[in-house]
Amino acid sequence: MNQSPLTESEEKQLITKAEAARKKAYAPYSQFQVGAALLTHQGKIFTGCNVENASYGLTMCAERNAIATAIAEEGADNLTIKAIAIANNRHIPCSPCGACRQVIAEFSTDASLIFLSREGYQTRSLSQLLPQEFSLSDIF
Ligand code: THU
């Protein structure tokens, strides 16, 4: 497993793929297109975009769709997330919503999250954004 820090080349690839994914977003209600590209510790990249619905609450975020793609392709058994880049069509740095943070935490002890903006990008670790994720391990 590749536990090394994110390389410049990995960062660049994630950014390009997040931008490509957000162009495929289905966001006719909010007009806010989001794309996410996630890198696994095994070195594979999977993407997702937001998919909205006329019944607004059924909308799926780009980050969770990227995770669903990764699981559909690779299975969940060995899935660990090294990094996720997130892009949007307003080019503002936008961190994942709380629901996505919790779902990312299921597959990562400390993923790097990269938010693209017009000025470049910002990086945060998942533990900075979600210090105490919900976990059943203390319960069972
Ligand atoms: N959205 C995402 O795709 N990811 C997030 O982390 C937050 C919000 C989407 C959902 C909706 O389609 C649009 O952005 C506006 O909320």
Give bridge partners of residue 54 from the DSSP assignment.
none
The verdict on domain 8-129 having CATH code 3.40.140.10 is yes
pTM listed for this prediction? 0.95
User: Which residues participate in catalysis according to the annotation?
Assistant: 63
Q: Domain residue spans in the chain?
A: 8-129
35 lines ligand 1 (CB under 6 A): no
Q: Is 62 in the pocket of ligand 1 (CB under 6 A)?
A: yes
pLDDT tens readout for residues 55-101: 999 999 999 999 999 999 999 998 999 999 999 999 999 999 999 99
Give phi and psi for 11, each to the nearest 5: -60, -45
Question: What is the whole-number distance in angstroms between the Cα of residue 73 and the centre of ligand 1?
Answer: 23
Is 39 near ligand 1, meaning CB less than 6 Å away? Answer: no
